[in-house]
């Protein structure tokens, strides 16, 4: 990673994107993890799909941590979807819908987990998930060429 994308504090986050070839890139994080990104012509995730995965993943972590303290889920899936729009505001997504499908076993622990599930989803949306909170809030994005 270059110095400009390396996190400088515990609160900073950064990735570096390098071009592999036309329409294909690799994102690298500060820990050395890599992720292929494509323009939609193959199986690689597109940037829009990555944004939806980030919203779903961030909220999934929150909800899983809050519910699995009570019971281990028997099934846990999250679907994030939005329509890609092109209008007077340029290219953007319409409202993002995130749907949790979580199942817990029978018994008192499962009952406690089911009871906390709606609250966990709300807390993730309203306060905990950095990704969805960033999308919901007016967050400036500065871009420049060096």
Instruction: Say whether domain 46-136 belongs to CATH 3.30.300.20.
Output: yes
Residue 10 has what pLDDT? Answer: 82
Q: What is the pLDDT along the chain (146 residues), one digit of tens a residue?
A: 555 555 557 889 999 999 999 999 999 999 999 999 999 999 999 999 999 999 999 999 999 999 999 999 999 999 999 999 999 999 999 999 999 999 999 999 999 999 999 999 999 999 999 999 999 998 999 999 99
If DSSP states are collapsed to H, E and C, what string results for the chain?
Answer: CCCCCCCCCCCCCCEEEEEEECCEEEEEECCCCEEEEECCCCCCECHHHHHHHHHHHHHHHHHHHHHCCCCCEEEEEEEEECCEEEECCEEEECCCEEEEEEEECCCHHHHHHHHHHHHHHHHHHHHHCHHHHHHHCCCCCCCCCC
Q: For the chain, how many residues are written?
A: 146
- Give the separation between CA 116 and CA 111, rounded to whole angstroms: 9
Residue 44 has what pLDDT? Answer: 95
CATH 3.30.300.20 domain extents, the chain: 46-136
CB 126 within 8 A of CB 113: no
pTM of the predicted model as reported, rounded to 2 decimal places: 0.89
């Amino acid at each position: 990673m270059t110095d400009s994308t390396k996190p400088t504090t515990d609160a900073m986050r950064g990735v570096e994107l390098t071009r592999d070839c036309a329409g294909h890139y690799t994102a690298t994080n500060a820990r050395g993890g890599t992720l292929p990104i494509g323009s939609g012509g193959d199986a690689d995730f597109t940037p829009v799909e990555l944004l939806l995965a980030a919203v779903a993943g961030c909220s999934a972590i929150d909800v899983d941590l809050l519910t699995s303290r009570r019971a281990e889920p028997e099934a846990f899936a999250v679907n994030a979807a939005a329509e890609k729009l092109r209008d007077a505001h340029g290219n953007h997504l319409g409202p993002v819908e995130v749907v949790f499908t979580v199942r817990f076993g029978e018994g008192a622990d499962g009952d406690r987990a089911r009871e906390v599930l709606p609250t966990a989803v709300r807390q993730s949306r309203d306060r905990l998930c950095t990704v969805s909170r960033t999308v919901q809030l007016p967050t400036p994005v500065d871009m420049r060429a060096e």
